[in-house]
């Protein structure tokens, strides 16, 4: 009976596979590649939009339950419990059910594009969505944007894999999923498109632009249909921006740049701190205690923080002190100023603690949050001290500008920051100052940090794709594909006579000198011994260790290809040995790298 069941399952699988292959054959015959990619981009956009709507719904559902237990005029002990509970549920779900690393979603998408041929696992289509809804819904101080990018990218990747598409098309569909996820979660289609260009660093070509636009618009449309046409943050520009305020905007941009550096550095330091804690149970305890205490003392750090942003954008800064120990000081100007400063400074710690403890979330929302606090603090402080011309700065406008400024610096994405802020708030009337503050902040941050928060982790390992074609292609190239191992090795104690015999049987003119323990001790080039190899009187008196040479450089196995090319440029060599801990592995030649470079460039460039 068991054998019959097995045969039936095999037959069904074969029949299913045969049916799918017929579908693929029909598609190849009747639908050209360009049209098919547009259809898939639309499907990916709609699916990612639904995922964004579902994620927002789950977060809102859980958060509504938690917030129903809170009291406005008192400090709430629930802040010590619920955030820790959410992280615990998310960590247990990831550890026991997902059984995979789904943290730092955007970074993992960048890694998949660079080193995994844009292939993401099927479980990535839902795992981050569930884990982040528990983390954020119960009060984790992170954003939903990283998880929805991971989810949307996984949808695009798996759909492309199902239809056996090439790596460069797969990369495009990953970008479509990410763009649609951002567009759906923020109702910002232009920002979704720019996210793929500036953060995922996909080149915007004639062939890739239209599918990305289709996916981004589809994702935003789904969000509009299910959640209405209201913007994410309600902002009414009651005060007109005056050109006399441009110098203040420039200074705000520089201030936001320094705030961005602070945010990135704190996140990096806390990440390393948690990595040094090897036991996950201890990591959870440390992170949960840190987060719970921060939220208890500073309740606006709870969750994504969108309520706090709306309070500042609508001139209700004193409402930030609701649910806190400091409710009695909600009318004290200087206390509000200090409170906002601490909120902005501590958000980086709260975000890092959430992720470090085992929660799942991104840094999009925290960067917007910190930016809003920075812009508010900047304008509020100047108004309190007194503006030279006597005309107060618009606190609401500067809070909005701060959002764009810090996001531009943290993400290294000024265009996305401009359009995202405008689309989320409807603040298109501030487009000029948004442009100024974003560019100045990005330029300031770039002086101190060459990479954004997502790209930094991969850049430090030499695994980051960028818009620089040469660097990107070298990142995509694998060391194994260019190592040549058909060189005949010789030993240091080998005589010239034996060396000549080896030369007569070899097709190469380069010979590695390898000791008994496998260590590379030198190389022999045919041109270097041509003057002695025809002198029989030296055959028994000359040994390899006398005429071998030290190679100009050695390539360590696993070294990034960009670093390998620098070695070739610095030494002027055409062949360099590859070693693994000093032991000989093979040789890499410049010509082999050039050939591989051309193949990879053709394979990953999408410009139909």
Length of the chain equals: 608
Percent of the chain with pLDDT over 70: 89
pLDDT (mean) for 22-39: 81
User: Which phi and psi angles does 603 have, rounded to 5°?
Assistant: -70, -35
Superfamily for the 471-604 domain: CBS-domain (3.10.580.10)
Spell out the alpha helix ranges (H) of 461-560. 469-476, 496-505, 526-529, 544-547
Question: What pLDDT, in 10s, does the model give residues 168-199?
Answer: 889 899 999 999 999 999 999 999 999 998 88
Per-residue pLDDT, 467: 45
Per-residue pLDDT, 19: 74
* Confidence category of residue 17, pLDDT binned at 50, 70, 90: low
**Prediction pTM value:** 0.79
Is residue 56 within 8 Å of 144, Cβ to Cβ? Answer: yes
Question: How many CB atoms within 10 Å of residue 218?
Answer: 25
Rounded-to-integer distance, Cα 306 and Cα 56, Å: 12
Is residue 215 within 8 Å of 176, Cβ to Cβ? Answer: yes
Most confident of the ranges 80-84, 207-211, 241-245, 480-484: 80-84
The answer to whether residue 317 scores a pLDDT higher than 90 is: no
Per-residue pLDDT, 289: 94
List the Cα angle 378/381/387 in 5-degree steps. Answer: 100
Question: How many CB atoms within 10 Å of residue 96?
Answer: 8
Rounded-to-integer distance, Cα 58 and Cα 572, Å: 59
Please tell me which residue, 564 or 221, carries the higher pLDDT value. Answer: 221
The bridge status of strand 555-556 relative to strand 575-580 is parallel
Dig out the tokens for 185 from the structure: 């979660």
The answer to whether residue 463 scores a pLDDT higher than 60 is: no
Rounded-to-integer distance, Cα 313 and Cα 310, Å: 5
Please tell me which residue, 498 or 249, carries the higher pLDDT value. Answer: 249
Q: What is 243-464's CATH number, 3.40.50.80, 1.10.3080.10, 3.30.950.10, 2.40.340.10?
A: 1.10.3080.10
* Confidence category of residue 468, pLDDT binned at 50, 70, 90: very low
Three-state SS string over 555-604 comes to: EECCCCHHHHHHHHHHHCCCEEEEEECCEEEEEEEHHHHHHHHHHHHHHH
Hey, what's the torsion of the CAs at 459, 464, 465, 471, to 10 degrees? 60
* Confidence category of residue 201, pLDDT binned at 50, 70, 90: confident
According to DSSP, the residues that pair with 524 across neighbouring strands are: 511
Per-residue pLDDT, 444: 96
Hey, what's the torsion of the CAs at 207, 417, 255, 299, to 10 degrees? -140
Burial degree of 548 (CB within 10 A; 0-12, 13-18, 19+): buried
Per-residue pLDDT, 1: 46
Please tell me which residue, 523 or 79, carries the higher pLDDT value. Answer: 523
Mean pLDDT estimate for the chain: 85
Q: What is each CA distance from 438 to 270, 341, 578, 603, in whole angstroms?
A: 26, 21, 45, 35
243-464 and 471-604 agree in CATH topology? no
* Confidence category of residue 477, pLDDT binned at 50, 70, 90: low
Question: What pLDDT, in 10s, does the model give residues 396-416?
Answer: 999 999 999 999 999 999 999
pLDDT (mean) for 307-336: 85
Please tell me which residue, 39 or 4, carries the higher pLDDT value. Answer: 39
Q: Distance between alpha carbon 530 and the CA centroid of its chain, in Å?
A: 54
Enumerate the domain spans of the chain.
1-27, 28-76+97-227, 243-464, 471-604
Please tell me which residue, 47 or 484, carries the higher pLDDT value. Answer: 47
Question: What pLDDT, in 10s, does the model give residues 431-454?
Answer: 899 999 999 999 999 999 888 887
Q: Which of 261-265, 347-351, 462-466, 499-503 has the lowest mean pLDDT?
A: 462-466
- Closest alpha carbon to 560 in 449, 454, 473: 473
Question: What pLDDT, in 10s, does the model give residues 555-608?
Answer: 888 787 777 878 888 888 888 899 998 899 999 887 777 666 555 555 555 555
Question: What pLDDT, in 10s, does the model give residues 133-180?
Answer: 999 999 999 999 889 999 999 999 999 998 888 888 898 999 999 999
pLDDT (mean) for 420-441: 91
Burial degree of 143 (CB within 10 A; 0-12, 13-18, 19+): buried
Question: How many CB atoms within 10 Å of residue 128?
Answer: 32
pLDDT (mean) for 296-304: 89
* Confidence category of residue 469, pLDDT binned at 50, 70, 90: very low
Please tell me which residue, 564 or 459, carries the higher pLDDT value. Answer: 564
The answer to whether residue 318 scores a pLDDT higher than 90 is: no
The answer to whether residue 11 scores a pLDDT higher than 60 is: no
Architecture, CATH, for domain 28-76+97-227: Orthogonal Bundle (1.10)
The answer to whether residue 375 scores a pLDDT higher than 80 is: yes
Q: Which of 136-140, 278-282, 316-320 has the lowest mean pLDDT?
A: 316-320
The answer to whether residue 238 scores a pLDDT higher than 80 is: no
Query: Which residues are within 8 A (CB) of 507 and not within 5 positions of it... i.e. 6 or more apart?
Result: 486
């Amino acid at each position: 009976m068991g054998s019959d069941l097995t045969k039936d399952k095999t037959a069904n699988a074969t029949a299913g596979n045969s049916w799918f292959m017929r579908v693929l054959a029909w598609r190849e015959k009747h639908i050209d590649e360009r049209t098919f990619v547009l259809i898939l981009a639309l499907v990916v956009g709609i699916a990612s939009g639904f995922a964004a709507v579902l994620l927002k719904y789950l977060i809102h559902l859980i958060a509504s339950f938690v917030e129903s237990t809170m009291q406005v005029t008192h400090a709430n002990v629930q802040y010590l419990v619920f955030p820790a509970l959410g992280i615990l549920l998310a960590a247990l779900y990831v550890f026991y059910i997902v059984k995979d690393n789904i943290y730092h979603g955007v970074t993992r998408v960048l890694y998949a594009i660079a080193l995994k041929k844009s292939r993401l696992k099927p479980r990535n289509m839902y795992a981050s969505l569930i884990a982040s809804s528990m983390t954020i819904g119960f009060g984790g101080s992170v954003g939903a944007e990283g998880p929805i990018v991971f989810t949307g990218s996984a949808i695009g990747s798996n759909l492309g894999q199902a239809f056996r598409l090439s790596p460069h098309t797969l990369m495009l569909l990953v970008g479509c999923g990410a763009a649609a996820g951002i567009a759906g979660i923020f109702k910002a289609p232009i920002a979704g498109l720019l996210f793929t260009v500036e953060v995922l660093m996909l080149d915007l070509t004639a062939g890739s632009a239209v599918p990305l636009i289709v996916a981004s618009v589809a994702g935003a449309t789904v969000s509009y249909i299910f959640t209405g046409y209201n913007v994410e943050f309600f902002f009414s520009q009651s005060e007109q921006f005056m050109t006399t305020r441009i110098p203040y905007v420039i200074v705000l941009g520089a201030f936001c740049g320094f705030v961005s550096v602070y945010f990135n550095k704190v996140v990096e330091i806390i990440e390393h701190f948690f990595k040094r804690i090897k036991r996950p149970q201890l990591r959870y305890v440390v992170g949960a205690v840190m987060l719970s205490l921060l939220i208890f003392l500073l309740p606006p750090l709870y969750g994504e923080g969108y309520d706090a942003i709306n309070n500042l954008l609508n001139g209700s800064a004193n409402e930030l002190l609701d649910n806190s120990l400091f409710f009695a000081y909600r009318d004290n100007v200087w206390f509000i100023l200090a409170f906002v400063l601490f909120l902005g400074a501590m958000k980086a710690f709260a975000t890092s603690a959430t992720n470090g403890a085992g929660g799942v979330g991104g840094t999009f929302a925290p960067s917007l949050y910190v930016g809003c606090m920075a812009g508010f603090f900047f304008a509020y402080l100047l108004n309190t001290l007194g503006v030279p011309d006597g005309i107060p700065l618009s606190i609401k406008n500067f809070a909005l500008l701060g959002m764009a400024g810090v996001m531009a610096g943290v993400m290294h994405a000024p265009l996305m920051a401009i359009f995202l802020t405008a689309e989320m708030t409807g603040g298109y009337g501030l487009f000029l100052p948004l442009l100024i503050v974003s560019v100045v902040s990005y330029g300031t941050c770039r002086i101190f940090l060459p990479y954004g928060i997502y790209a930094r982790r991969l850049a430090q390992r030499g695994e980051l794709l960028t818009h620089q074609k040469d660097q990107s292609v070298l990142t995509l190239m694998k060391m194994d594909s260019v190592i040549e191992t058909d060189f005949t090795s010789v030993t240091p104690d080998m005589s010239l006579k034996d060396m000549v015999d080896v030369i007569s049987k070899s097709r190469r003119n380069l010979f590695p000198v390898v000791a008994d323990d496998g260590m590379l001790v030198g190389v022999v080039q045919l041109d270097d011994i041509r003057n002695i190899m025809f002198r029989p009187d030296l055959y028994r008196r000359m040994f390899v260790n006398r005429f071998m040479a030290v190679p100009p450089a050695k390539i360590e196995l696993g070294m990034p290809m960009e670093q390998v090319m620098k070695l070739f440029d610095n030494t002027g060599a055409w062949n360099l040995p590859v070693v693994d801990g000093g032991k000989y592995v093979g040789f890499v030649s410049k010509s082999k790298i050039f050939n591989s470079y051309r193949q990879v460039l053709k394979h990953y460039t999408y410009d139909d």
